[in-house]
Structure formats: C-alpha cells, structure tokens
Structure 1
Amino acid sequence: MAANLQFSIGHADITPEVEGRPAVWMAGYYHGRAATGVHDPLYARGMLLSDGKQKIALVSLDVVGWSYPSTVKIREQLPEIDYVIICSTHNHEGPDTIGIWGESPIKRGSNDRYNARIESTVVGLVQQLNTQLQPVTAEFAKIDRPDLIQDNRLPEVLDPTLRVLRFRSTIDQSYVGLLVQGTSHPESLGPKNTLITADFPGYTIQRLEEHFDCPTVYVSGAIGGLLAPPEEGVFNRQGVAEELGTFSYAETYGQMIADALATALKSSQPVELAPFDIVRQEIAIPIDNPLYRLARSLNVIRRVSYEWTGRPESWGQQVTREYRPERAAAITEVAVIRLGELYLLSIPGELYPELVTGQIPNPAEEHADFPDAPIEPHIAAMVHDKPYMLLGLSNDEIGYILPKRQWDRDPPYAYGRGLPQYGEINSCSPDVGPIIMATLARLWKQAEAAQGKP
C-alpha cells in the first residue's frame, strides 16, 4: 500500500428540531406526513482521503436527497479540498430536503434554514477531518445477497452486491473506518411512521461499529427500480419473522446487512488506493416530467434551470418568468474517481439495476414506449473485474434513471398491466438514462486513459 495514503473519518448530527412550528414534513410516500418525534438521530457521516497530492471528501447524509446546487455551495466553502462528494442514503423517514413532500402538492416541504444547517455542518465536518488525517492501508470486499432485496417493478432485476472498504492504521494496525455500499431503498419503516429515524442503515452502521470498533459511512448503490427491503425472510435471533414497517424489522434487517458485510470482510483483499484521478462532467438533463415542471412553476422546487439545447454538454439561457423555452434542463454531474486500484462511480440519482448488470430487455417488452431505443452502456461491461463502489444519489437527486426502452407511461402498457408502473413519475425524462450512461462510459474511458500518467 502506498505510504502516502492518509485517511480520517467522523460524523456530525443533523437531526431536525421536531417540536413546535414550522412542521417537519417527512420525505417520501405522500404529502402531509408531519414528523411527531425523533426515534434516533440523523447524521452527516464523512471521510477524507489524501494521496499526498489531492484530497477527496465523501459525506453521506441520512436524508432523502441533496441537490447539486447545494453541493456546489459546499464545495465553494472548501477550497482546500480537491473534490467533495455529497451522497444521501435516500432515507424516507427523515425530513424533506428536496421540497416535493410538503403539506400539499402545491406547498414546499423543505425548510431552507434546515438545509442551510446541513450545509454548514458538512463544511465544518470536512474541515475537522482535514486536521485528523492519518496513514492507512485498505482492503476491499463484496458479497452478493439477493435475499436481502426485492424488485417491486417488472422486469425483476437486482444488483445484489454489497461492497465495503475497510481502513487500517499503519501506526497500530487497528481498524479506523469502513465505507459501505448498500443495495436497497431505506424505507423499511413504511409510510405510517412519523418518527424521525435513519431507518435500517442506522442499524447497519451501529452493528458494524460494534463489531469492528470503528466509524462507518453508508452509501446507497443502484436502488432504482424499485429495490426495497424484502417483505419476507427477515427473522430475528429467536427465529421469529419480523413485520415490514416496524422498528424491530428495521433493526433486524439492518443487522442482517451488517452481518453479511462482516462475512465478506473475512475474505477481503488488500487494495491500493493511491494515486487519485478525478474525472467529472457537468451535464444538462431535460426536464420533461410535467409534475416536476409544475412544482418548479409553483416554487415547490427551487432550482435554476436552463434552455435544453439537445446537447447534454451545453445548455442555453437561464429560464425565468419572462423566458420560458419549450424544454428546460437541470444541470447535474457525473464522475468517475480512481483511487489507485479502486473506482468510485458517482451517479446523481436512483440508478436502475439494469444499467449495472446489462439485463435490459432485448427485444423490448411489447407496448413499451420506446422499443427501438438503443441499449445504454452498462457498468458491468465497463468495469469487468475491476473493484468499484457505486455511489448512488451522489452530489444530486434527479430521480429515477432507467433504460429508455423500459419507459412505459402511455397505454397500452407492458406486461399486460392496466396501469403504468411506478418509476417514470419520478424521473425527469426518458432521455436521462441514455445521457447519464453515455457520460459515465466516456468518463470511464478517460479515467482508464489517465491511469499511470503523472
């Protein structure tokens, strides 16, 4: 392991104040779900890596999503850090940080003061981590656990691979931190819960920290589709089946994920994590979703948009009340970060597992809206056997990212359904999947070409 690899890890509390007014509107499921209390705290959990030349910070938030403009604001306050990555676990049991789950569909659900608090907390956390770097080595492990997830959308496709990096101090050989990538929506508590909680990732982290006696950062992978906790197969230590939607389920399920990762680490392999290469690209994605466009016009979503030019790499004039082009676009970012032998793939939303595995219907399912759409590049074909971690909802939350030939909003519907499937309603456009994956494929080639260059 390169002697100049340094690392630090820590966390900071971002639990919202629930008592009093204004109400804390909880994210996900439906409008008007006000928090009534706090079951367990929410955190910003982060780590900082240095190869002696560059510094990369990765912070994961126990919230539903984080916008790219807010990520940029955080980066501007951390000029000493070469690259800052802000992920969200996509927690459905925390406050609305996007705006679309307010008291009603026409009322904004996020609190600007709370979001500003998260920003300042993240900045302070990264600044603190920058004073605590220590030399480390690292090891990587992964394990396939398809029994720990279910796909609630046809066709049923899973990315069942849990991935983990473990860091060890070169001073005393103790474990000093873990980076964990999960595979499922954090929604084990369901829509009836009104207590703030980190959901099952909080229990996964707690179990791992007890087992390895070191801090842990949890990120979500390809959870689009909709990959969710299984309704069956979760048993507590007494062998009793837990009921989805309960805290006992969340705890047992979170511990099962932690135990799977601990098993994987029994056969972990050393991995060189230096030097670093950071390859990133700002891109435009069209906002064709009529609900998103309405939310923006009602000031429910407060995000600057631009004229869609038809080219992801460039965009037109900023949209204003006076200038409303036929198609608007949001600016987001895709990145490939090479840490020595390991890659971090940064995706700004909820990626469908088909775009990881390549299991895209060919030919397309009958009645799909775009049956002749080209099949997108997929991650398995890019990376082959190289170790990587997938950072979903990374630096942004643009919604679902699905293969275009699976888009199915217009009747008649695929699979003989009488109604459309869930997914497209929370996607910006059928063009998002092709744009994101083409960008990722291009950045991957750039990162590979940069390997070994000074």
Structure 2
Amino acid sequence: MRFLTVIGTLACWAFVSSAASPELLAAPLQFSIGQVDITPDVSNNKAVWLAGYYHGRAATDVHDPIHARGILLSDGDQSVAIVSLDLIGWSFPSTQRIREQLPEVDYVMVCSTHSHEGPDTIGIWGESFIKSGLNDAYNERVEQAVITLVRQLTTTLEPVTAQFATIDRPELVHDSRLPIVIDSTIRVLQFRSKTNNKPVGQLVQGTAHPEALGSKNTLITSDFPFYTQQRLQQEYDCPTVYVSGAIGGLLAPPPEGIVDQSNKPLHPGNFEYAEVYGTAVGQAVIDALKTSQPLSLTPITVDRKEIAIPIDNPLYRMARSLNVIRRVSFEWTGSAESWGEQITRKFRPERGAIVTEVAVVTLGSLRVLGIPGELYPELVTGDIPDPALPQVDYPEAPIEPVVKDLFANQPWMLMGLANDEIGYIIPKRQWDREPPFAYGRSLSQYGEINSCSPEVGPIIMKTLAELSERNAKAAEGN
C-alpha cells in the first residue's frame, strides 16, 4: 500500500491541554491569491486543437485569455496551494512534476475547470482520432506557469479570516443522463483582510460543465467562469478562483430557462448566453455570501493516497497504443493498492492501469476533497437506484460510500478534476454499456464511453472513505 500523509502539528499538540479552547489552539491563517496567463498562441502556423466535443476543432482566435489561478494557505507550519486551470483537464504525472519543483509548499492541488473551449491537454481531440491534439511544449509551459504562480504566492501571504457559505441553485444546472440527479450546491470561501476586514479573494466551487459556448465555438475562452469571476471582481474588488465540483453525469448549464435583463430566453451556444449564465452564477455566490459564517481554517493537514485504476475502456486503450494519449501506465494487478511493471512496446499485459490520487485537505473545520475526475453527483447525494434498475450491467454491485454520509458532520468543498482527469466516475450499479439498456432505451446513455472502467467508482469512493476515517481518527486524537 502506498499511503502518504502530511500531518502538520501532531507532535506539539500532544503537550497542549485538552481543555484549551479551539480558538486558542488555532494558528493564524495566512493567504494569498493570484493568476498567470496560459493563453496559447493561435497566430502561428501550428493548429491549436480545442478540447471537447469532437476531433478537428482548431482555434481561430482568442475571446478572453485563459489562466492558471490559485490560492495559497498557510498556518505557519503547513502550506497548501490550490490552483485551477482554465483547461479540459490535467494529468497526475504533470501534477507530480510541478510538486517536485515546489518543495517549499507542503501540498499542491492542481484542478481544472473542464472548459471545452481551451487547448487539448490530454491528446484525444486532435486533427483526427489517430492524431494527438497534445502540444508538449504548451503543456510544459503550463507546468512552468503553475510553478511560477505558486512561488509568487509564497511571497505575498497576509493574515486573513475566512467566511464559508453555500447556496442551492438547481435552476442553474441540468442533467442530461437518467436518473436525473444533481448536486446543485454552490460552495464558496471568502477571505478577508485582518487589517480592514475587506474581501481579498474567493474560492468558488461550481456545479456545471463550462460548456455554455457549445461545440461550434472556435475562440479560446474560459467559458462562463470568465463572467462569473468578472461579476465577483465588480462586487468585491478582488480576484476569484473558480473550480468545478461533481459535474459528471452530464451536469451542464440548462438548455433553457436562462433569461437576460429584458426577460428574453437564451440558449447555449453563444457568448450572450455564457455572459448571462456566468453572471447568474456570480450573483448566486454574492447571495450566498450575504449569509456566510466565519470558519476557522487552521490547523492544516493533508491526507492523500495514490491508487491504481484499470483502463478497460477500449477507446482509451487504442488511443494509448497509437500514442494519442501519452501517459505512463502499468500492469493492472487486480488491486488498487499496488501496480505492476510499467507498460512498454515490448511489455503489453492484458489489462493496464494508471496511477492517480484521492485527497482530503483539512483546513480547520473545513474538508476539501480532491477527486481526480468528473464525479457523478449520485456519489455525492446518495441517490443511487436501490434496487438497481432492470437491464443495467451490474445490478448486484454494492452501493459505494457517498460524500454526504462520509462528511455529514463537517462543512466541505469538492474539487473535481483535482490533480488528474480520469474521466467519468460512475456508480457501478448504474453502469449500462451493454444491451439491453435501462429505461427502455434502444441506445446506451452517454457516459461510459468516457470512463476508464466500471471499477473506477468503487475504487475512488472506497479510497475517499479510508481517508475520511483516518481524518476522523486524527481529529479525535486532537
């Protein structure tokens, strides 16, 4: 088993009286926020292939610059950086390389918003199915940008307090896969200067795919989060870092129901819709913060676990064999706890696996969950059909642990696509790829085609449950 834990202050806490109040024990919170431009150059002769939807969608211009945005938190002993990229996804090996260059920071979490209007950083949206859309030089540039950003953040820390708020806005998210299940809760942390109590930054966890522009757009953009962050900048005069939550399934901006100021209904597929929708998300954050509550975010601890997941998806396996996806993989041993020999052209086992990571970052009273892909909201809410629907592929599969139960006693935020993009994370008993299909459908629903394996959901949620248990035991020990 490869279990890695960062625990900041346990040794000294053993000498502190258990009768001391949490306020006396909590260390001052230090915070910084910033951004670095990662917009690709679309003016040269080499195509910039846009990620998402289909192959061969080349960028023609830039609508708004895309960024790596991040925050750094420190309790004086442990430091954690949370960076969000305006990209479709990022890979765990790249995250590891970034961490190696930042030994001064105890833990770096690199998330992606999952924007469908930025360059292909995975490889599967190139000119054609057999040609990678990955530009190695661009990915290396993004790595260096994140390193530069985090180093800058270490030099601008200031003492802050934190406010936490949530708001349910089901009208802002649409599920296109049966059963209709959404996590409609927008979660937000606002940081305020200890000097004057003015806001200095926000961390916002949204609920929907950034794909308001649709598949016909060819302009580089961060999609609706651009307008969400713009609205919050206008309101609070400080920057915001936006991350996506449990957006698997497929949770997206609603195809109808959004109206502009003149009450005209708008539909996805243009910047007018993206602006109105993104502004509505920003306004929801503002509404939430009107009832925010102070939250202690120290001490800081990190629990993370590296795990193996099998790659059973035939399209992913073919993409790897064609060098469309360029990622180190290993022999699948049958266990998430270990992995076998690295796969090469000469060593091609029957089943392969990749290594990824699940994490729980404890910020005082708050739990920040790092999930390496697009989690189905059923694995948050627990709304998994029981008994299973007829015709699904694994009707007897046990129901996985769910976030709502694992973290019922603490406030939490869920960072989707954290440190990796492994695709959809689906409850196993909802897996439905082979006919006959559930819901009387003649064709399979969308989802399984972009998941590594039916085993991914159980592995990810079991790992999260382990980290939750370790976290709870550590808290009891304090």
- TM-score above 0.5, yes or no: yes
Q: CA separation in 2, counterparts of 1:167 and 1:385?
A: 23
CA distances 1:199-220 after superposition (whole Å, capped 9, x unpaired): 0011101101110111100000
Structure 2 partner of 1:230 = 254
Structure 2 partner of 1:17 = 41
What one-letter code is carried by the residue in structure 2 that aligns with 1:194?
T
Of the three residues 445, 461, 465, the one matched with 1:421 is 445
What one-letter code is carried by the residue in structure 2 that aligns with 1:199?
D
1:367 corresponds to 2:391:
yes
Q: CA separation in 2, counterparts of 1:26 and 1:71?
A: 21
Of the three residues 149, 152, 159, the one matched with 1:128 is 152
What one-letter code is carried by the residue in structure 1 that aligns with 2:36?
A
Q: CA separation in 2, counterparts of 1:358 and 1:452?
A: 26
Q: How does 1:316-327 map to 2 (within 5 A)?
A: 316-327=340-351
Q: CA separation in 2, counterparts of 1:400 and 1:109?
A: 20
Structure 2 partner of 1:449 = 473
Q: CA separation in 2, counterparts of 1:26 and 1:107?
A: 13
Q: How does 1:29-428 map to 2 (within 5 A)?
A: 29-428=53-452
The percentage of aligned residue pairs carrying the same residue is 66
Q: Say which SS state the counterpart of residue 94 (structure 2) adopts.
A: helix
Q: CA separation in 2, counterparts of 1:417 and 1:243?
A: 26
Q: Judge conservation of contact 2:193–2:199 (CA < 8 Å) in 1.
A: yes
What one-letter code is carried by the residue in structure 2 that aligns with 1:371?
P
Q: CA separation in 1, counterparts of 2:255 and 2:301?
A: 41
TM-score normalized by the length of structure 1: 0.99
Q: CA separation in 2, counterparts of 1:74 and 1:53?
A: 21
Q: CA separation in 2, counterparts of 1:153 and 1:92?
A: 19
Unaligned 5+ segments in structure 1 are none
CA distances 1:380-416 after superposition (whole Å, capped 9, x unpaired): 0111141100000000000000000000110011101
CA distances 1:285-336 after superposition (whole Å, capped 9, x unpaired): 0000000000000000000111111110101111111111111100000000
What one-letter code is carried by the residue in structure 2 that aligns with 1:214?
C
Q: CA separation in 1, counterparts of 2:451 and 2:328?
A: 18
Q: CA separation in 1, counterparts of 2:367 and 2:250?
A: 25
Q: CA separation in 2, counterparts of 1:85 and 1:118?
A: 14
Q: CA separation in 2, counterparts of 1:448 and 1:41?
A: 41
Of the three residues 418, 432, 439, the one matched with 2:463 is 439
Q: CA separation in 2, counterparts of 1:117 and 1:290?
A: 31
Q: CA separation in 2, counterparts of 1:20 and 1:298?
A: 26
Q: Judge conservation of contact 2:50–2:116 (CA < 8 Å) in 1.
A: yes
Q: CA separation in 2, counterparts of 1:156 and 1:90?
A: 21
What one-letter code is carried by the residue in structure 2 that aligns with 1:437?
M
Alpha-carbon distance, 1:339 to partner: 0.3
Q: CA separation in 1, counterparts of 2:288 and 2:255?
A: 24
Alpha-carbon distance, 1:452 to partner: 5.9
- In structure 2, relative to structure 1, the CA distance for the partners of 1:131 and 1:227 (3 Å cut) is same
What one-letter code is carried by the residue in structure 1 that aligns with 2:354?
A
Q: Say which SS state the counterpart of residue 265 (structure 2) adopts.
A: coil
Q: CA separation in 1, counterparts of 2:454 and 2:213?
A: 30
Q: CA separation in 1, counterparts of 2:241 and 2:100?
A: 23
TM-score normalized by the length of structure 2: 0.94
Q: CA separation in 1, counterparts of 2:65 and 2:388?
A: 44
Q: CA separation in 2, counterparts of 1:68 and 1:58?
A: 15
Q: Judge conservation of contact 1:277–1:447 (CA < 8 Å) in 2.
A: no
What one-letter code is carried by the residue in structure 2 that aligns with 1:78?
L
CA distances 1:353-378 after superposition (whole Å, capped 9, x unpaired): 00000000111111000000000000
CA distances 1:102-126 after superposition (whole Å, capped 9, x unpaired): 0000000010011000000100000
Alpha-carbon distance, 1:243 to partner: 2.4
* Greater CA drift, 178-187 or 19-28: 19-28
Q: Judge conservation of contact 1:337–1:447 (CA < 8 Å) in 2.
A: no
What one-letter code is carried by the residue in structure 1 that aligns with 2:179?
P
What one-letter code is carried by the residue in structure 2 that aligns with 1:23?
A
Alpha-carbon distance, 1:22 to partner: 1.1
Q: CA separation in 1, counterparts of 2:59 and 2:220?
A: 6
Of the three residues 32, 50, 66, the one matched with 1:26 is 50
Alpha-carbon distance, 1:242 to partner: 1.6
Q: CA separation in 2, counterparts of 1:373 and 1:43?
A: 41
Q: Judge conservation of contact 2:27–2:298 (CA < 8 Å) in 1.
A: no
Q: Judge conservation of contact 2:27–2:76 (CA < 8 Å) in 1.
A: no
What one-letter code is carried by the residue in structure 2 that aligns with 1:252?
V
Q: CA separation in 1, counterparts of 2:176 and 2:108?
A: 33
What one-letter code is carried by the residue in structure 1 that aligns with 2:424?
Y
What one-letter code is carried by the residue in structure 1 that aligns with 2:242?
Y
Alpha-carbon distance, 1:241 to partner: 1.3
Q: CA separation in 2, counterparts of 1:3 and 1:165?
A: 18
Runs of 4+ more than 6 Å apart: none
Q: CA separation in 2, counterparts of 1:299 and 1:102?
A: 12
